[in-house]
Amino acid sequence: ASATDRAFAADVVIVGTGPAGAAYARILSEERPDLRILQFDAGSLLTDPPGAHVKNLVDDADRAAAQRLSEGPNPSHTHESTDTLDGYASDAARVVRPGTYLLTEGYQLGEQVGLPALAFSTNVGGMGAHWTCACPRPGESERVDFLPDFDELLTTAERLLGVSSEVMADSAMAHLVRKRLSDGLDSRRSRSVAAMPLAVRRRDDGSLWWSGSDVVFGDETRGNPNHRLVPRALVTTVRTSDRRVIGVTVRDLETGESYDVGSATVVVAADALRTPQLLWASSIRPPALGRYLNDQPQVVHAVKLRDVPAQKTTRQAGPVDLLSGVSWVPFTDAAPFHGQVMQLDASPVPYDGEIMPGEVVGLGWFCPKDIREEDRVDFDSEAVDGYGMPAMRIHYDLTDTDRRTLARAKEEIVAVGDLLGDAVFGDPIEFPAGASLHYQGTTRMGATDDGRSVCDENSQVWGYPGLYVAGNGVIPTAIACNPTLTNVALAIRGARAIAKNQKPGLTVDQRIKNHA
C-alpha cells in the first residue's frame, strides 16, 4: 500500500512494543475491545508470537540473529558485545549486552560522569526481548505512595508479566544460597531475603519460557481484531492542535515514506530516553521533560560457593538452567541497595571459567540515585541520531551522596559475598554509569503539576489531553530495584484511565463514511 492509502485513523495509537506499550494494548483489549488500536515499533519483528524473549529461541544462530536485529540503525557499525567476565572486569567504560546498542555520541559531556553505558534495544518487544526477567516489588521509599491502588497495580502487573517466585527456587543450590543469606541478614533488616520473583514459567515439557511482551500482550491482544501491530515504523511526530493530540506521523523504515495517522489518544512508550525525544521533536516540552534522569549506580562481585554438595549436572549448549536460582536481598531505607544474587553462567554477565554449573554466583548491588533536576537528557536542535531523530545530549553526574552510597554498597557486597563463599576476582567492580539498563525519571509522574513532573497520576501529560507517556521514565521515586514491574503497574493505571474515558469506538460503517 502506498503512504496515502495508509492515511488512516485509530482510537488509540501506541508508540513502542516493550512491556509498557504491551501493557496498554493488553488492558485496552480486555476492557475496550471496541477501540481500534494501532501500535508502532521502529524495530523488526523477531519472533512468532510477536515480542517473545530471544532466550526462548533454542537455536544459537537464531538467537544471535535476533539479537543483531535489535541493535539499532547500523548494527554492522556498532560494537562487539561484551560476553566474558573478563570484559566486565576490565575498566572498559562501555559495556554492551547482546540485543542492545550504545549511544554513539553525547553520552559524556565535559568533566561529567555521563552515561557511557547508556543502551537501547530497537525491536518488537524492546528490551523486554533481552532482559533478565527479575521482577521484585519496590519497597519503603521506592514505592509510589501517592497512588492509592499501588499494591493492586503491582499484583496486576505480576499477572500480566507472568511473575512467579517458585519456578527456580527449588534446586538444592538455590536453597543453600538463600539459607546462607537469610541466616546472615534477616534478623537485622526490615525486609527478608527471598527467591527473586521472575517473569518466567516452566512449560509442560519442563523447559522454561521467559516472559517478553508476548506474555504481556496475551491471547487477549493477539485475538483482538481491532489491534494491529506495525513493525519497522518509526513515529517521528506526535501531532497536536492547540495542545490537543490529533495523531502521529510515522515513517515506514522499509520504504522511507511517511504517513499520518489520526488519533485523539496517543501513548508514547518508547523507553526512558526516546519518549522524551519524541515529545521534544514534536515541540511538546514541559519543563520537567528529560530531567530527573536517573540510572542505578551498580556494583558487582562474584564468589565461588563454599562447601557445595557435588552436582551431577554438566554444562549444556543453549539456554542454561538456573541451578542456584536467583536470590533477592530487598532494598530497605536503612540499607538502600537492591541486591540480586544469581548464577553467573545464566546472568547477563557470563562466566568463562572451568567451574561446575551454578557454583559461581554473581552479586549485583543496585543503588538509588540521588535524584537531581540537572541530570537530564536534552536534544540538539540540528544534529540527529541514526534514525534522524534529534540527537541526545546527556548531562549526568554523581553527587557526594552517590559516592558515599557506592562506597557503602561495596562494603556490603563483600560482607554478603563472605556469607556465601570466596571472592573469584578481587574487589567488587563498579559498573560504568548506564550499565544498570534501568533509566528513570525523564517523564516522571507527579501528584500535582508543580513543574517537577511531566504527567499526572494516570500518566497523561500535564496540559496535553489525550497524550500519555509510559515506561521507566514515568517512575518518580529513586527506585533501586529492577523497574519493569513498577513500569507495567503504572502503565496499567494509565490504560484503565483511557478505557474509562474514551468514547465508544467508531463502527466499521462509521469509519468508512468518515473516510469516504
Residue with cell 551522596: 401
One residue of 57, 185, 437, 480 binding ligand FAD per CB under 6 A: 437
Kindly write out the interface string for residues 138-177 of this chain, putting x where it contacts ligand FAD by CB under 6 A and - elsewhere: ----------------------------------------
Query: Is residue 53 annotated as part of the catalytic site, yes or no?
Result: no
String of contacts with ligand FAD for each residue 81-100, x by CB under 6 A? ----------------x--x
DSSP 173-212: HHHHHHHHHHHHHGGG-SS--EEPPEEEEE-TTS-EEE--
Considering only residues 43, 319, 417, 441, which one is a binding residue for ligand FAD as defined by CB under 6 A?
43
| 43 vs 297, beta carbon nearer ligand FAD | 43
Residue 298 near ligand FAD by CB under 6 A = no
Tell which positions 337-366 bind ligand FAD, by CB under 6 A. 348
Q: From the candidates 53, 227, 338, 438, which is the catalytic residue? A: 438
Contacts of 507 (CB under 8 A, 6+ apart): none
Binding region for ligand FAD (CB under 6 A) out of 41-49, 52-60, 167-175, 369-377: 41-49
| Strand stretches in 309-359, DSSP E | 326-329, 338-343
- The residues that bridge with 69 in the sheet, in sequence order, are none
Contact 72, 262 (CB under 8 A): no
Question: Would you say 491 and 470 are in contact if contact means Cβ atoms under 8 Å apart?
Answer: yes
Closer Cβ to ligand FAD, 100 or 265, answer by number = 100
Asked whether position 47 contacts ligand FAD by CB under 6 A, the answer is no
Q: How near is the Cβ of 405 to ligand FAD at its closest, in Å?
A: 20
Looking at 421, 471, 476, 494, which residue binds ligand FAD (CB under 6 A)? 471
Asked whether 239 and 263 are in contact (CB, 8 A), the reply is no
Helix (H, G, I), strand (E, B) or coil at 24: helix
For residues 205 and 491, which CB has a smaller minimum distance to ligand FAD in the complex?
491
Shortest distance (Å) from residue 93 CB to ligand FAD: 18
Closest contact distance (angstroms) between CB of 431 and ligand FAD is 13
480 near ligand FAD, rule: CB under 6 A: no
The CA-atom distances, in angstroms, between 458 and each of 290, 404, 441, 446, 461 are 19, 35, 16, 10, 9
Does the footprint of ligand FAD cover residue 25 (CB under 6 A)? no
Q: In angstroms, what is the minimal distance from the CB of 52 to ligand FAD?
A: 13
Torsion-angle region of residue 459: left (phi > 0), alpha (psi -120 to 50) or beta? left
Q: Which is nearer to ligand FAD, 42 or 193 (CB)?
A: 42
Q: Is 40 in the site for ligand FAD (CB under 6 A)?
A: yes
By CB under 6 A, residue 420 contacts ligand FAD: no
CA pseudo-torsion sign 423, 424, 427, 431:
negative
- Shortest gap between Cβ of 448 and ligand FAD (angstroms)? 24
Q: Is 126 in the site for ligand FAD (CB under 6 A)?
A: yes
Indicate the residue type of 444: R
> Which cell is 302 given?
562474584
Quick one: CA dihedral 191, 193, 195, 198, positive or negative?
A: positive
Tell me the C-alpha distance between 394 and 378, whole Å.
Answer: 7
* Candidates 34-42, 87-95, 183-191, 416-424; binding stretch for ligand FAD (CB under 6 A): 34-42
Residue 291 within binding range of ligand FAD, rule CB under 6 A: no
Provide, rounded to whole angstroms, the least separation between the CB of residue 472 and ligand FAD. Answer: 5
Rounded least distance, CB 307 to ligand FAD, Å: 29
Identify which of 455, 445, 146, 474 has the alpha carbon closest to the alpha carbon of residue 286.
455
CA dist 14 to 228, 288, 506, Å?
10, 22, 18
Determine, following the binding rule CB under 6 A, whether residue 130 of this chain makes contact with ligand FAD: yes
Backbone angles phi, psi at 484, to 5 degrees: -65, -35
The kind and range of the H/E element at 222 are helix 213-222
Tell the burial category of 314 from Cβ atoms under 10 Å away from its Cβ (0-12, 13-18, 19+).
exposed
Does 484 engage in binding with ligand FAD (CB under 6 A)? yes
Which of helix, strand or coil describes residue 407? helix
Query: Can residue 392 be called a binding residue for ligand FAD (CB under 6 A)?
Result: no
> What is the distance between the alpha carbons of residues 472 and 128, in angstroms, rounded to a whole number?
12
By CB under 6 A, is residue 483 in contact with ligand FAD? yes
Under rule CB under 6 A, residue 368 binds ligand FAD: no
Residue of the chain from 57, 127, 420, 489 that contacts ligand FAD (CB under 6 A)? 127
Chain residues in the site for ligand FAD (CB under 6 A): 15-21, 40-43, 97, 100, 121-123, 126-128, 130-134, 234-235, 269-271, 274, 278, 348, 437, 471-472, 482-484, 487
| Catalytic annotation, residues | 438
